[in-house]
Every structure is written in C-alpha cells, then in structure tokens.
Amino acid sequence: MGTEEQTGAMRNMAVLDLTGMSSAEELSSITRIEDIALVLVPESLSGALARIPMNDVASVVPVPDGADVRVHTGSAVFGGEALADPGGDNVVLVVTGTLALTGPVDHVGYRQVIVTGMVLAPHGSEAALAAGLTKVTGSVQYYDHVEGQRFRNLSGQTKISGEVLANRGGNPSDVLFLTGQTIITGPTSEVGFQNIVAAGQLIAPREGEVELMSALTMQGQLIWYDGQPRFFSGRESFGRAFFELLDEPMSMVLIGSFTIEDGVPPELLREKIGDIALIGNLVASKEVLPVLQLLVTEKHGTITTEQDAGDR
C-alpha cells in the first residue's frame, strides 16, 4: 500500500491505495488516517472507511470493486492515443500531480480517470476528455498542438537559471513541465516555450514576472522574490553571529522550517535583512516577530513565536 506500516496509523503520503482490501475486517486494522492527499477505496468498503478517524485528508475516491487501479504520482506524460486503449475493460487511472497529454485525445477507454492536480491536453480533445474524465480536483488546461513540438519535464527539487526558459535550440511550440519545487535563480529576459506548466512550488524573480507570466500555467504556490537573494531550504536556525557577519543587507528565500534564535535583537534584523520570501514556517521571539512580519514580503506559511509553535 505504500504506507509506513501495514497496520495502525497511515500518514504523510500523496496516495493511500486501499483497493487491494476486500473486507471491512481487513480495513479495521487501520486506526487513523492523516495528512493524505488522496485515499482510494473499493466502493463496497466506503462505509467502513467512513468510520476511521481522518485528519487533513484532501479527497476520498471510491473505485469499482476488483478494478485494475494504476496510480501515478508526480508528472504522468502520455500520448493522446494512450488513453484510448488501457489494455483491459476494468482499468482505473489515478494521477496525483499532472496528467500531460502530448497529442490529441479522440477517445478515453479507461473505466475511470481520476486526477488530483492538473490536466494538460491539446485543443481538439475537449469532447473526449469531458466524457472520459471521471473526477478532476484541479484544472484542465488546453494548448496548441504542433507537429514536432517537444515536451521537457523537470521534477523534484530543481534549480534553474532564467536563461533555461529561453529554450535555446528548441522550438517556440515546446512545452516545459515543472513539478515539485522549482527555483528560478535569475531574471528571465526571454521565454522560448509555448507553455510553462508548474505544479507544486515555483519561486521566481519578480524582475522577469511579465515574461514568465505570458507562458505560465500554475497549479500550486507561486512566490516572487526581489534582487539576488540567498536560498535556504530544509530546517535551519539563524543566530546573532550569522547576521553580524553580513557586510550588507541581504534578501532571503526560506523554504522549510526556520528559527531566529533568542538573542538576535530586532534592530540587527532591520539592519542586515532587506526582505524575506517564505514558504514554510518561521519561528522567533516575541520581540523579533513584528520585524519579521515587516520584512516578509511574500508568505506561504506561518510566522510564529516558539510558544505558539509548540501549541500547534
């Protein structure tokens, strides 16, 4: 099932696939479900699943009993003809992330197609997808299909320069997929893709906002930064000595969980930090909190005191 344990609490997964279970007794081995994007369950066990405590579960989808369930997490890139012949009469396709179709779709042969995220397909596929998509939690976007266009996919935690978006040596009809967490580390003076499709987190320079937005389709969190910041990801603490070592004011992009240690005076932060872009959590003392609220110009997450963070 792709879980941490075969019994007990199931947590912190993109997809919890319970379609292999055949009885309520088997399902009763699960005591709790939490922090799951999508739960798949046989239709006959939907009632039994409802009796299990759940927290932070985005979607529960019943599927036909006995179906051949094929699950893709992240980016699933198929030719349009691939949806017509799944190789069976009782096949269910589940995509958590982006379903990208690189050619026109004439017919959908899957019994069900369930997408939590984004569907990207060429114009001309609207009628087939309207009939064939069972459930989409997200958006369906269409692009112009051109013979010979290329599809590039960057996934996971990725850093690219703004020059990559110029698509040197490519075609203006090409499509770029960015899934996961993507940081564009410099200005974008030119975009050489017909579409840039981002699903997840995209961190980009405000200096290239006009050029990027002309081609961008976004599903997730988009955050802009100014200047030439330093990027920090993961989990880290910053003490007084760190800020005192800075020769001039610095911009910061924080992605993850961070702490400003006790003993950092508010005036030192005002002197050494120009602005902060935050995706995640930032914890500091009550004295420093108002300064951080001023310095954080882009925020997807929380700014709290240590006491408040402990109460969460």
pLDDT, mean over the chain: 89
pTM exceeding the 0.75 threshold for the entire prediction: no
pLDDT bucket at 236, cuts 50 / 70 / 90: very high
One DSSP character per residue, 210-225 reads: HHHHTTEEEEEEEEEE
Query: Backbone dihedral region of 144: left (phi > 0), alpha (psi from -120 to 50 degrees) or beta?
Result: beta
pLDDT bucket at 3, cuts 50 / 70 / 90: very low
Average pLDDT over residues 238-256: 94
Instruction: Report which secondary-structure segment, H or E, holds 95.
Output: strand 91-101
Nearest alpha-carbon partner for 99 in 162, 42, 141, 54: 141
pLDDT at 138 over 70: yes
Instruction: Please state the three-class secondary structure of 41-83 as a single string.
Output: EEHHHHHHHHCCCEEEEEEEEEECCCCEEEEEEEEEEECHHHH
Other CB atoms within a 10 A radius of the CB of residue 22 amount to 13
**Residue count (the chain):** 312
pLDDT bucket at 235, cuts 50 / 70 / 90: very high
pLDDT bucket at 7, cuts 50 / 70 / 90: low
Q: At 257, is the secondary structure helix, strand, or coil?
A: strand
Query: Backbone dihedral region of 227: left (phi > 0), alpha (psi from -120 to 50 degrees) or beta?
Result: left
Q: At 149, is the secondary structure helix, strand, or coil?
A: coil
